[in-house]
Amino acid sequence: MQVAKRSGDLIDQKRRARTAANALRMQAHKTLGERSGLMLAQHELPINRKDGFGSVSGFYPYQAEINVLPLLARLVSEGWLTALPVVMAKGEPLTFRAWAPGEPTGRGIWDIHVPLETAPELQPDVLLVPMLAFDRRGYRLGYGGGFYDRTLAELRKLKPVVAIGVAYAEQEMDEVPIASYDEPLDWILTERGVIEPKR
């Protein structure tokens, strides 16, 4: 695993990678549109529910993110408890509140849909993680806020959790620039199917 050693180099590498990844995602979103969410929902999560996993956090699609709402709706029909993340403050881990497709939402930071404040908080067993890019090692390129890295680091101290990066297949890169604090994904899910990382 190659980790960028100088912070200035890493910042520049990630900035350039984000620019390229955003263009790829926009193109994929334009090409596939809402079909991608339905395609995504046809794939099974690589999770054995007999291991005690019963709750999953998704995300409300923002800008050109792939739409996981059809997948969440299917998971609810299968008995999963579903939730959405909420940004509480800069530099803090995410909070998760119970929510299912069709239930009302409010607006959070960056005008992203979030569950109402009255929705109960939970600690998900499975996290569907949005991203700008991914590689076959299981590393993701996020938006730069570090919210999911902090959240995964905290949750993994408390209990077994499974992080599944979700994106368009076209968002794959040969190698995502990473730092020592970047939390790896356990699986990747695209509209084409599940990818098991090779590290």
Residue 75 within a domain:
yes
- Residue 1 in domain: no
**What domain range is 142 assigned to?**
7-195
- Say if 114 falls within a structural domain: yes
pLDDT of residue 171: 96
- How far apart CA 175 and CA 195 sit, in angstroms, is 15
Instruction: Please indicate, yes or no, if residue 2 is contained in any of the structural domains.
Output: no
* Of 85, 96, 160, the residue nearest 130 (C-alpha): 85
The residue that leads in pLDDT, 50 or 20, is: 20
Mean pLDDT of the residues in the chain:
93
Averaged pLDDT, 107-115? 93
pLDDT at 49 (0 to 100): 81
Task: Please check whether residue 90 lies inside any domain of the structure.
Answer: yes
* Banded model confidence at residue 189, pLDDT cuts 50, 70, 90: very high
User: Domain of 110: which CATH number?
Assistant: 3.40.50.10420
Joined together, the tokens standing for residue 157 give: 């101290």
pLDDT (0 to 100) of residue 182: 93
Helices in the chain by DSSP H: which ranges?
7-32, 35-40, 69-77, 147-158
Average the pLDDT over 179-190 and give the result: 95
Q: Is residue 33 a part of any domain in this protein? A: yes
* Residue 15: burial class (beta carbons within 10 Å; 0-12, 13-18, 19+): exposed
Q: Tell me how many domains the chain contains.
A: 1
Is residue 149 situated within a structural domain? yes
* 49-100 pLDDT per residue, tens: 878 889 999 999 999 999 999 999 999 999 999 999 999 998 899 999 999 9
Residues 6 or more apart whose Cβ sits within 8 Å of residue 23: none
- Which pair of tokens denotes residue 11? 């910042």
Structure tokens given for 68 = 């996981």
